[in-house]
Structure 1
Amino acid sequence: YHVVPLPEAGTDSFTFSEHLIKLWVSFIKSGKPSDVYPNVEEWVPFTSQKPSTLVLDLPAENFPDPMKERMEFWKGLN
């Protein structure tokens, strides 16, 4: 059973789903994203000293510390 409906072929959702599957398979096999996202050569590890997020979209992008401003705001309330 599928909890959510499967995307229809040819839609953006279907394309994204295919890309995501290829990306995970490639990452599991080689530790690197596939050529589906040629602008992303690696998944930068997330650490507390150097937070980084891979935003999976069309196209995908690595964002270093994407929530920095938001976190600084909350830290400033102490």
Structure 2
Amino acid sequence: MTKTTNLDIKAEAKITKVKNKSKESPAPSLTNFTKQQVVGSKKYGRYRDVLNAILKDDKTYTRVEVEKKLETFLKGKVSK
């Protein structure tokens, strides 16, 4: 018979908690955000002006969509 220690119990509880947490909340890349939420976030703070220009007020965006639009804009060519 294997002896169960406090460490084993804590580890099992932690694993169960992580499994349950992942089922409850949607993946961050699938969560929709308004333009105001994106522009006001710390993550995109340095691109605030660009995002204000390229995102629409009445639309929501996933993190992936925001990053794709930002990348497209930043890699665009400058006209002479």
Same fold, TM exceeding 0.5?
Answer: no
Structure with the largest fraction of strand: 1
Structure with the largest fraction of helix: 2
* TM-score of the aligned structures, taking structure 2 as reference length: 0.25
Which is greater in Rg? 2
